[in-house]
């Protein structure tokens, strides 16, 4: 590699973060299929070999991007639900989840992509588990008889609603904020009433 290429490789200060930002931009513009290590390097203005310093291959880059999505969503959910009573907290977590899916469409789909071999990426699995743990804590606060089933029900509801809205399959989906509010509040209050 030439000296000029090497200088370009490090001009960001944090090469990994620059590569992830470039990949996120490409994901939003072109979808997952539009992401290649070479294009990410070009977008980040580094040499085409620079991504290999942090990512073994394209899948490793996508897994890191998905992990970043789970971590970001967790922080948002914690911020949205802090200090609320149990049922309101669960509803706030659900609203945040669906809002994130609508805001970060490509990233949300990537986070749950079956093509990623999750077993190869323990950090991705841990990030997803922390997110699910947040939901389980909120459900457990409602003192339901079966926290595992209630948590799965809550997750299924918000994930399903997210997918339906993303796919344009919800009648009357012109005002998603109001719909999201009604669905998550109804579910959380119904679950809370059982406790």
> What pTM, to 2 d.p., does this model score?
0.87
Residue in 98, 102, 93, 101 with CA at minimum distance from that of residue 75: 93
194's tokens:
């059982």
SS3 assignment, position 33: helix
Residue range 1-55 forms a domain whose CATH class is mainly alpha
Domain ranges in the chain? 1-55, 59-194
Cβ atoms within 10 Å of 100's Cβ, excluding its own: 21
Q: Give pLDDT tens digits for 36-60.
A: 999 999 999 999 999 999 999 999 9
What is the model's pLDDT at position 12? Answer: 56
What is the model's pLDDT at position 174? Answer: 74
52's tokens:
């290999």
Q: Distance (Å, rounded) from C-alpha 98 to C-alpha 114?
A: 20
One fold for both 1-55 and 59-194?
A: no
**In this structure, CATH architecture of domain 59-194:** Orthogonal Bundle (1.10)
Residue 8: pLDDT over 50: no
What is the model's pLDDT at position 170? Answer: 87
């Amino acid at each position: 590699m030439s000296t000029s290429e090497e200088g370009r490789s490090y001009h960001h200060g944090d090469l990994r973060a620059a590569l992830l930002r470039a990949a996120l931009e490409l994901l939003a513009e072109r979808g997952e299929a539009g992401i290649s290590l070479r294009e990410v390097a070009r977008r980040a203005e580094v040499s085409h070999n620079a991504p290999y310093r942090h990512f073994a291959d394209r899948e490793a880059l996508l897994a890191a991007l998905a992990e970043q999505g789970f971590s970001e969503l967790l922080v948002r959910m914690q911020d949205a639900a802090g200090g609320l009573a149990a049922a309101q907290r669960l509803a706030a977590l659900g609203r945040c989840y669906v809002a994130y899916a609508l805001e970060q469409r490509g990233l949300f789909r990537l986070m749950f992509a079956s093509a990623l071999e999750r077993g190869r990426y323990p950090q991705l699995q841990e990030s997803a588990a922390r997110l699910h743990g947040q939901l389980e804590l909120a459900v457990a606060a409602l003192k339901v008889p079966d926290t595992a089933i209630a948590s799965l029900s809550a997750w299924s509801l918000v994930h399903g609603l997210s997918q339906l809205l993303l796919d344009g399959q919800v009648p009357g989906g012109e005002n998603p904020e109001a719909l999201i509010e009604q669905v998550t509040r109804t579910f959380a209050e119904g679950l809370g009433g059982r406790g």
